């Protein structure tokens, strides 16, 4: 297996810290950048895309975890905090220069944050969830979109969550805090906004939900369900969906939200006109008519 280079990104610098062979720029292989690629769902997506023929850059903060993913998959490790604007620009520039133009960006890096009640949460930890889940995705989109729109090619997949949508009624969802729910809803709307900005340019953007997946993020919140295999969605479903979106099969649904487990998204390729006409798979308000005519 060809060893990939690793980048350590810091501020506006981005140093190569493991010397290795770089993909020749003439290569026709598509390039994917997956944030949060060091473990959990992101690691599975990295593995899948590498197996599907992508040249993959996997980004996260933990150099050690990234190094093992890189060794196992042939991906390039990019040590990066997605909340650091200068580091994100430098890392994307370096990936483009060393591996080639980015065809697929998967904004998967995310944190669950505090599960405590809103009035008991430290404001900095609450806002940190937005910094990773929303600002991080924005910074990565901002960094890749100039080249994607210039080339007229590119896809962005923002990993949101059903936490953006599920009903809570009067019962607070145990362990899932207001920051997480609000940040994932913001990511869905952000995705639709970006999709509208790039419409017609050859670039598309999607938000997705993986379902509930057994990872470090869910270990505490779903401790009681840990041994109930029916409860969990396989991370391979997310990898399936990301790979499918990468083919362009659902480009006509750019801006919409897809659930890896609950949606029969393979069939959507034949139903795009109907989905658009009915305005499905989007964040919308169901208005109340007041119960009578005004």
- Residues lying near ligand NAP in the complex (CB under 6 A) are found at 35-36, 38-42, 60-62, 65, 80-83, 108-111, 132, 136, 159, 161, 209-210, 212-213, 215-218
CA-CA-CA-CA torsion for 207, 210, 211, 216, nearest 10 degrees?
-130
- Do residues 161 and 209 make contact, with C-beta atoms less than 8 angstroms apart? yes
- Do residues 208 and 160 make contact, with C-beta atoms less than 8 angstroms apart? yes
Q: How far apart are CA 43 and CA 258, in angstroms?
A: 20
The residue (of 31 and 213) whose beta carbon lies closer to ligand NAP is 213
State yes or no: is 180 an active-site residue: yes
The residue (of 116 and 153) whose beta carbon lies closer to ligand NAP is 116
The residue (of 89 and 209) whose beta carbon lies closer to ligand NAP is 209
State yes or no: is 184 an active-site residue: yes
Q: How far is the CB of 167 from ligand NAP (least distance, A)?
A: 16
The residue (of 257 and 268) whose beta carbon lies closer to ligand NAP is 257
Q: How far is the CB of 150 from ligand NAP (least distance, A)?
A: 26
Residue 280 CA: distances (Å) to CA of 92, 253, 258, 271: 33, 10, 10, 11
Alpha helices by DSSP H, listed for the chain, are: 40-51, 63-73, 85-98, 123-130, 136-151, 178-198, 235-246, 265-268, 272-277
Helix, strand, coil share of the chain (percent; to 5): 40, 15, 40
Q: How far is the CB of 273 from ligand NAP (least distance, A)?
A: 29
Q: How far is the CB of 168 from ligand NAP (least distance, A)?
A: 16
- Give the active site residues: 180, 184
């Amino acid at each position: 297996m060809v060893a990939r280079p690793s980048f350590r990104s810091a501020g506006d610098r981005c140093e190569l810290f493991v010397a290795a062979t770089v993909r020749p720029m003439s290569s026709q292989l598509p390039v994917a950048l997956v944030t949060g690629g060091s473990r959990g769902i992101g690691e599975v997506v990295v593995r899948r895309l590498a197996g599907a023929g992508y040249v993959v850059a996997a980004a996260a903060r933990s150099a050690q975890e990234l190094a093992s993913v890189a060794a196992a998959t042939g991906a390039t490790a990019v040590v990066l905090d997605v909340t650091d604007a200068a580091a994100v620009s430098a890392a994307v520039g370096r990936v483009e220069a060393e591996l080639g133009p980015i065809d697929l960006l998967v904004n998967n890096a995310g944190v669950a944050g505090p599960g405590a009640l809103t009035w008991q949460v430290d404001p900095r930890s609450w806002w940190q969830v937005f910094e990773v889940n929303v600002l991080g995705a924005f910074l990565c989109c901002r960094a890749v979109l100039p080249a994607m729109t210039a080339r007229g090619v590119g896809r962005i997949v923002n990993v949101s969550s059903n936490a953006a949508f599920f009903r809570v009624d009067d019962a607070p969802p145990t362990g899932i805090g207001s920051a997480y729910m609000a940040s994932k809803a913001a990511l869905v709307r952000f995705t639709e906004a970006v999709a509208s900005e790039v419409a017609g340019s050859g670039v598309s953007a999607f938000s997705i939900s993986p379902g509930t997946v057994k990872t470090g993020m869910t270990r505490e919140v779903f401790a009681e369900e840990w041994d109930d295999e029916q409860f969990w969605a396989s991370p391979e479903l997310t990898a399936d969906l990301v790979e499918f979106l990468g083919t362009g099969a659902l480009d006509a649904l750019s801006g919409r939200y897809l659930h890896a487990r609950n949606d029969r998204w393979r069939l959507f390729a034949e139903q795009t006109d109907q989905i658009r006409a009915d305005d499905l798979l989007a964040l919308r308000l169901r208005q109340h008519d007041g119960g009578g005519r005004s």
